[in-house]
Amino acid sequence: MERLLSLLPPRPPSTAVRYAFTAVLVALCVGLVKLVHAETGIYGFFIFYLAIFLASVLFDHGSGFVATALSVAFMYVQLTGGDKSLLYDIAPLLGTFTVISIGVAFVSEGLRMGFERAVAAEQAKDLLLQELRHRTKNDLAMVVSVLSLQARGEKDDGTKAALENAISRIRAIAGAHDHVGPFTNEAEIDIKEYLTKLCDHLAASLRDVRPIKMDVDVEATVMKSRDAIPLGLIVNELVTNALKYAFPDNRPGVVRVTLRNAAPRTLIVEDNGGGLITGGSGGIGTRLTKMLVKQLGGTIDWEDAEPGCRVRVTLAA
């Protein structure tokens, strides 16, 4: 709707300009009426409704009234040749045309005003959504800070690991807000930039000084935030698992993340580390991953990469 309104020119402030442009529209319609009459012998007076509609949409109903008056004047001259005695005969036609034209003028102006109000409401909504997104990012950052302080002061290794995992998941959600494009009906996220930065952050946080390379190959596209955030969480879980457990004893290796958009969209997270752990079930991270894949309507498979482990997520189109 905003695009449609942007195609309309701004209303000129000068009454003279509005009425002059209206006269030009009527003159163009006069030419069309004469052309139709010359070709068919029929008076195509209905063509004047186009001038009335355009004048009212572009300017206001006053311009529509001017277009109506000019159209009626032309019809009178065309049908009577200036003979006033014929006015009684054509009065019903002129009266009906005038009534309909006034209605068209009011409806047409109302149409533009409705567009303007709808666009203003949409822009106000976008501002509110942007403010909400900003506050959400701040709230998530505060949660991460609190959990980080708690993790640093925690002596129990199990509890500390659980807090660190929670921090990682919250950061994956918060990171999506940095890549949301302009607001439309549903926010869109640049998935290539989002996943690349997410993987870079995970690598910097988890590999320490180990010689592990992070290789990210994601095709450029945008995704609705409702799909992109679960996908980011899936990548977060799989990459975290690979960085933590695939390379024991400071072994070197590569963790590779690949996303292909050709239907069906396919995500692959693989490493050349210790290999597939039998069962592919296990802790909360695996259960969370399966739940997120199901939410996206996809399937997940663990494969032996020989060497290493490959996780293939096939998403619904």
Question: Could you give the dihedral angle defined by the CA atoms of residues 61, 66, 70 and 73, in that order, rounded to the nearest 10 degrees?
Answer: 100
Judgement on whether residues 13 and 93 belong to the same structural domain of the protein: yes
Those residues with Cβ within 8 angstroms of residue 293's Cβ, 6 or more apart along the chain or in another chain: 234, 299, 300, 313, 315
Q: Which CATH number covers residue 163?
A: 3.30.565.10
Are 188 and 272 members of one domain?
A: yes
Is 209 part of a structural domain of the chain? yes
Within a domain: 6: yes
Q: Are residues 113 and 70 in the same domain?
A: yes
Reported pTM: 0.56
Among 82, 100, 122, which residue terminates a domain? Answer: 122
CA 240 to chain centre: 31
| Residues 174, 58 within the same domain | no
Higher per-residue pLDDT: 56 or 123: 56
> Could you tell me if 179 and 36 lie in one domain?
no
Q: What would the DSSP string read from start to end of the chain?
A: -HHHHHHSPPPPS-HHHHHHHHHHHHHHHHHHHHHHHHHHS---GGGHHHHHHHHHHHT-HHHHHHHHHHHHHHHHHHHHTT-GGGHHHHHHHHHHHHHHHHHHHHHHHHHHHHHHHHHHHHHHHHHHHHHHHHHHHHHHHHHHHHHHHHHHT---HHHHHHHHHHHHHHHHHHHHGGGB-S-SSS-EEEHHHHHHHHHHHHHHHHSTTS-EEEEEEE---EEEHHHHHHHHHHHHHHHHHHHHHSSGGG--EEEEEEEE-SSSPEEEEEESSS-PPTTS--SHHHHHHHHHHHHTT-EEEEEE-SSSEEEEEE---
Are 203 and 306 members of one domain? Answer: yes
Give the closest residue to 276 by CA, choosing from 306, 256, 234: 306
| Residue 134 lies inside a defined structural domain of this protein | no
Do both 169 and 20 map to the same domain?
Answer: no
For the beta sheet containing 212-218, the strands, ordered from the edge strand earlier in sequence to the opposite edge, are 212-218, 253-260, 266-271, 309-314, 299-304
Query: What's the average model confidence in pLDDT over 17-22?
Result: 89
Average pLDDT across the chain, whole number = 83
282 confidence band (pLDDT: 50, 70, 90): low
137 occurs within a structural domain: no
Flag whether 138 is in a domain: no
Q: Give residue-wise pLDDT tens across range 137-165.
A: 777 777 878 888 888 877 788 888 888 88
Domain total in the chain: 2
Q: What is the pLDDT averaged over residues 177-191?
A: 64
- What is d(CA 268, CA 306) in angstroms, rounded to the nearest whole number? 15
Task: Select from 122, 146, 176 the last residue of a domain.
Answer: 122
30 pLDDT band, cuts 50/70/90, is very high
Residue 146 lies in a domain: no
Range of the domain at 308: 154-314
Is the domain of 304 the same as that of 217? yes
**Does residue 127 carry a pLDDT above 60?**
yes
For residue 314, pLDDT over 90 is answered with yes
- The per-residue pLDDT for range 48-78, each reduced to its tens digit, is 999 999 998 888 888 999 999 999 999 988 8
| Residues 74 and 164 placed together within one structural domain of the fold | no
pLDDT tens digits for range 228-280: 888 998 999 899 889 888 888 888 999 999 999 988 999 999 999 887 765 44
Same domain for 85 and 177? no
Domain boundary among 69, 100, 122: 122
Same domain, 304 and 178: yes
Rounded to whole angstroms, the Cα distance separating 216 from 199 reads 7
In a domain, 44, yes or no: yes
Residue 129 within a domain: no
Query: Given a cut of 80, is residue 203 above it in pLDDT?
Result: yes
Does one domain contain both 101 and 19?
Answer: yes
